[in-house]
Amino acid sequence: MGKGYGRTYFAVTPAGSLASGLRTYSINDSGWKRYNLSAFILQSLSGDLRRGFGLGAGVLYGRMLGKYKRSPIVSDVGDADQLAAAVGLTYTF
């Protein structure tokens, strides 16, 4: 991720520290923010994956890395581990 994004979403300025109570934190370089592992499964309800209805489910696990994980926004009030799941109905035509 770029420097500007890191500063905007993970740095805490002195003014931001006074307003939020979090410790100040600066990020002045770019780098990897997180890694993700995901899985998705689809079951056809019509017997043909190419057309008709189906059921789908997926899960995503992400882990914040390095300087982004050490930001007080993540380490003090957030969590470096992130999990998302979804279930849905699909239709292919």
Mean pLDDT of 17-30: 91
The whole-model pTM stands at 0.72
Residues 50-92: pLDDT tens digits? 889 999 999 999 999 999 999 999 999 999 999 999 999 999 8
pLDDT at 3 over 90: no
Report the mean per-residue pLDDT for the chain: 93
Question: Which residues constitute the domain of residue 75?
Answer: 3-92
Q: In sequence order, what DSSP letters do the residues of 1-40 get, joined into one string? A: --HHHHHHHH-B-HHHHHHH-PPPB---S----EEEEEEE
Smallest Cα–Cα separation from 27: which of 51, 58, 2, 64?
A: 2
pLDDT at 17 over 90: yes
Grouping H, G, I as helix, E, B as strand and the rest as coil, residue 45 is: coil
Q: How many domains does the chain have?
A: 1
